[in-house]
Chains A and B, each alone.
Chain A
Amino acid sequence: MEPHSLTIVEASRLIRGGKLSPVDLLESILRRIEALEPRVEAWVTLDPHGARAAAEKMADEAGQGKIRGPLHGIPVGLKDIYNTAGLRTTMGSPLYASHVPEGDAEVVRRLREAGAVVVGKTETTEFAYLDPAPTRNPWNLGHTPGGSSSGSAAAVSSLMAPLAFGSQTGGSTIRPASYCGVVGVKPTYDLISREGIFPLAWSLDHVGLFTRTVEDAALALDVVAGTQTSRVVKAPPPRVGVPKEFYVRVAHDEVKQGFDAALRRLEGRGAEVVEMKLPASFKAVHDAHRIIMAVEAAAVHEKSFKQKMAGYRQNIRGYVASGLLVPATSYLQAQRVRRRFTGEMLAAMEGLDCVLTPSTTSPAPQGLSSTGDAAFNSPWSLTGFPTITVPSGLSNQRLPLGVQLTAPPFEEARLMGVARWCESVLGPIGSPEMQVEQGA
């Protein structure tokens, strides 16, 4: 097995046992990137020089018996809105094309301290909104990988990195993770520091992360959040609530069929599936989310927008412009709806381990002009509740499908336990078949 195809758990075990050098792992990853990047376009900026220096240091330390933790020597990709000291950070915008931060984002600092090796910066939609990055879906290059964390999801899916970080303000982690057939986690709002990450909308922005297994996700989350979710080894069959009225009504037929099949498998292995009603306030959550995000994005960009409006691509330009026109009372009305929905949703989740829904309305849409629909994810960005997507199967076109699990705030350990159980039942969907030229 080539080192680039190892999960974090597998690579970490080999590094700890002296059977794999972080340098060899990195070189395998760099060869993989060299072979696939022209087709996938997951990376904005690669830093092979910096990565090799970090990997050599981790190899030296490992040789001396010093292992910093489970991410020691593990290559990582970072969405190009994370500040990286001395490494270009563009926000996916020509306005920041030559922007080089002086310091690291707090998450990056923690990753480096834990021994992770920063390989480079992954593609993002412009300012993490909807104007697409050039990235393609590794399962089918004619389809979108989703967004806004397009490069992070595609890099993990195509084995160009075992771990990548992104963000979510609407559905920017769960959606691309599901489209690309990997695990994506959006923890509770503010569980992980956003310091040094360029904002889209402060009160909705979350750090997100991508791995190939739930166990890997738990390890990475523990490193950056200080949680202990990876200690949850095995959860019993869960009691999950399924809100069919919106999530099944809006979903495309392939998603409905895939979700029903996943439910049957979970029930067959002992999960208790309870049909739950969404609170009345749910019907206003997408409007509330839109208004809050537009106003906060407008506030972030107001000064720059007045001077450089033409420098923004169409979607973010329209969104910022619309946010500048929203009355203050409408913003507050949206925040009042948000609070009511959050309270009603928490009450509705009483007695459940998690809420279970399809991760996306459809498999990854064809074409690269849109990054897909975040309607199934944005309610949880609005409440700040933790969510995870786990691959659940393939569509007729062999595109990944996923299930989204949601737990009450700060219940990441519970969420990871249920996700691991679901993953064990639903099984792996594998990785996309990508032809690699000999020698790569």
Chain B
Amino acid sequence: MGEDQARRDYVNHFIDTATQLWGREAVSEIRTILERTAEAIWALGNVKLGPEDEPETAPGRRRGS
């Protein structure tokens, strides 16, 4: 399965989950927003990070100290 197909499958899975929760009509009104978020999740999943890359926990103040 190609990368592009895998990405489309993930986006479709995301939309299906939303449809189960809120129904087809409600999802149709916000579909574009849901798709963009699903695309962002997919893209972030492809960013190469190592175990040393910890999550941010306190932006700003901790860095400034």
Binding site for B on A (CB under 8 A): 188-191, 203-204, 281, 284, 286-288, 290-291, 294, 309, 314-315, 317-319, 321-327, 330, 332-340, 342, 346, 382-384, 409-410
Q: Is B53 within 8 A of A323, CB to CB?
A: no
Give CA–CA (A99, B34) in the complex, Å.
30
Known contacts A189-B59, A189-B61, A284-B43: does B33 contact A337 (CB below 8 Å)? no
Q: Is B55's CB within 8 Å of the partner chain A? A: yes
Number of cross-chain contacts by CB at 8 Å: 111
Q: Is A325 within 8 A of B17, CB to CB?
A: yes
The digit string for B10-43, where 1 denotes a CB below 8 A from any CB of A, is 0000100110011000100110111011111101
CB A288 to nearest CB in B, in angstroms, measures 6
What residues on B are CB-neighbors of A191 within 8 Å?
60
Q: Is A190 within 8 A of B47, CB to CB?
A: no
Known contacts A290-B36, A290-B40, A291-B40: does B60 contact A335 (CB below 8 Å)? no
Give CA–CA (A335, B61) in the complex, Å.
16
SS of B interface (majority): helix
CB contact between B60 and one of A286, A319, A321, A384 (< 8 Å): that residue: A384
CB contact between A284 and one of B38, B44, B55, B64 (< 8 Å): that residue: B44
Q: Is B44 within 8 A of A291, CB to CB?
A: yes
Q: Is A337 within 8 A of B44, CB to CB?
A: yes
Give CA–CA (A422, B39) in the complex, Å.
39
CB contact between B56 and one of A188, A339, A409 (< 8 Å): that residue: A339
CB B5 to nearest CB in A, in angstroms, measures 20
Give CA–CA (A189, B61) in the complex, Å.
7
Interface residue count on the B side (C-beta < 8 Å):
32
Q: Is A318 within 8 A of B30, CB to CB?
A: yes
CB B38 to nearest CB in A, in angstroms, measures 8
Name 13 extra pairs, CB < 8 A, besides A322-B37, A342-B63, A346-B63: A188-B60, A188-B61, A190-B61, A291-B40, A318-B32, A321-B30, A322-B18, A322-B38, A325-B18, A325-B37, A335-B55, A337-B47, A409-B64
**Closest B residue to A335 using CB positions:** B55
Known contacts A291-B41, A314-B30: does B36 contact A340 (CB below 8 Å)? no
What residues on A are CB-neighbors of B55 within 8 Å?
332, 335-336, 338-339
Q: Is B3's CB within 8 Å of the partner chain A? A: no
Q: Is B1's CB within 8 Å of the partner chain A? A: no
Give CA–CA (A337, B33) in the complex, Å.
22
CB B48 to nearest CB in A, in angstroms, measures 10
